[in-house]
Amino acid sequence: MDRFIIRGGRRLTGEIEIGGAKNSGLKLMVAGLLTSERLVLSNVPAIADIKTMRDLLVGLGIMVEDAGPRTLSIGGEIGSVEAPYDIVSKMRASILVLGPLLARAHEAKVSLPGGCAIGTRPVDMHLKGLETLGAVIRLENGYINATAPDGLKGDRIILPFASVGATENLLMAATLAKGRTHIVNAAREPEISDLVHCLNAMGAQITGEGSGTLVIDGVEKLHGAHYAVMPDRIECGTYACAAGITGGDLLLVGGRADDLGSVIRTLEETGVEVVEEERGLRVRRSGTLQGVDIMTEPYPGFPT
């Protein structure tokens, strides 16, 4: 398709089902590296990044099978610890296999990531955090070569800023580390809480999500679980804005107010009504829109 033709001026009404969150589903797939048992994920979005992550996991020896509509079954023994450039360069989330590979296989060779070019996305916090847990890391020929022959060991990690990716990578690595790990200044996004809940369902011992400090007591191994990917809060907020812009009335099926942070307050300030119902969020506007000032910030602030 070369173009979209949009004929505007109409109210948007009806129902829209909110899909699974890409930014959660990708990380939950990576969590499947932490156990040889089956992690069954439902509500997985059908998007290109999910296919790329599937290809990456299969390349590492992990079985990824369809187990129903929008459902994947993930698990198996790790057959390779190398995440090659041709896959990692397609998607920056690929760097997240580093922590789980170190935790379970005690070694990893991961290409430095490419992907989305919105500003710089250094991996220094990932690497320094893993070194704090006892990993030995070398950068060679565009690859991160990491080893932990005696396994990872719990420690206190203070992140210089609340990086979502670093929090996720270190969180997964710490689940199988010996002893207790504190991640201070951890990201507080709902996707972090979703990962925590999934890992705990697999037998991890993690507390503190949403507080800025995660406490992880390492366990010897994790087991399989069934888990549903959270609804996509960015998709939900976008449709909510569309209802407000057009003076519409939409039921966002599966939408959750707790995930949207300041978005709901901002919408209400513009004159848009947001109401929680049994099946999701009702968003509608009947009056005139009011202008508001918005500053984008990390969660629970308004998302970029």
Each residue's pLDDT tens digit, 113-132 = 753 344 444 699 999 999 99
Domain residues for the domain of 289 are: 1-19+231-304
Q: For position 283, what pLDDT does the model report?
A: 98
Distance CA 62, CA 22 (A): 20
Do residues 4 and 27 share a domain?
A: no
Do residues 235 and 221 share a domain?
A: no
Do residues 267 and 183 share a domain?
A: no
Handedness of CA 207, 209, 213, 217 (dihedral sign): positive
Q: For position 298, what pLDDT does the model report?
A: 86
Paired tokens of 88: 């990692």
Q: For position 91, what pLDDT does the model report?
A: 87
| pLDDT beyond 60 at 167 | yes
Bridge partners for 20 per DSSP: 231
Do residues 187 and 262 share a domain?
A: no
Give me the number of domains the chain comprises.
2
Q: For position 148, what pLDDT does the model report?
A: 96
Kindly state the average pLDDT of the residues 182-193: 96
Q: For position 112, what pLDDT does the model report?
A: 86
Q: For position 270, what pLDDT does the model report?
A: 96
Do residues 99 and 60 share a domain?
A: yes
Is residue 190 within 8 Å of residue 258, measured between CB atoms? yes
Percentage with pLDDT > 90 across the chain: 87
Kindly state the average pLDDT of the residues 46-72: 96
Do residues 220 and 85 share a domain?
A: yes
Q: For position 90, what pLDDT does the model report?
A: 86
Do residues 194 and 63 share a domain?
A: yes
Say whether 198 is catalytic.
no
Supply the DSSP string of 214-269, one letter for each residue. EEEE--S----EEEEPPB-HHHHHHHHHHHHHTT-EEEEET--HHHHTHHHHHHHH
Last residue in a domain, options 228, 256, 290: 228
Question: CA-based Rg of the chain, rounded to a whole angstrom?
Answer: 20
SS (HEC) of 43-87: CCCCCHHHHHHHHHHHHCCCEEEECCCCCEEEECCCCCCEECHHH
Confidence label for 190 from pLDDT (cuts 50, 70 and 90): very high
Last residue in a domain, options 195, 228, 261: 228
Give all strands of the β-sheet with 225-228 in edge-to-edge order: 63-66, 72-75, 39-42, 225-228
Distance CA 148, CA 297 (A): 36
- Give the CATH number for residue 254: 3.65.10.10
Do residues 86 and 215 share a domain?
A: yes
E strand or H helix at 16, and its extent? strand 13-17
Distance CA 270, CA 122 (A): 37
Range 282-285 contact pairs with CB under 8 angstroms and sequence separation of 24 or more: 282/249, 282/250, 282/251, 282/252, 283/239, 283/240, 283/243, 283/244, 283/248, 283/249, 283/250, 283/252, 284/243, 284/248, 284/249, 284/250, 285/243, 285/244, 285/247, 285/248
Last residue in a domain, options 228, 246, 275: 228
Do residues 136 and 182 share a domain?
A: yes
Region of 170 please: left (phi>0), alpha (psi -120 to 50) or beta.
Answer: alpha
Residue-wise pLDDT tens digits, 215-271:
999 999 999 999 999 999 999 999 999 999 999 999 999 999 999 989 999 999 999
Buried residues in 66-82 as b, exposed as e (16+ CB within 10 A): ebeebbbbbbbebeebe
Closest CA to 216 of 149, 145, 144, 156: 156
Do residues 156 and 235 share a domain?
A: no
Do residues 148 and 240 share a domain?
A: no
Kindly state the average pLDDT of the residues 192-197: 97
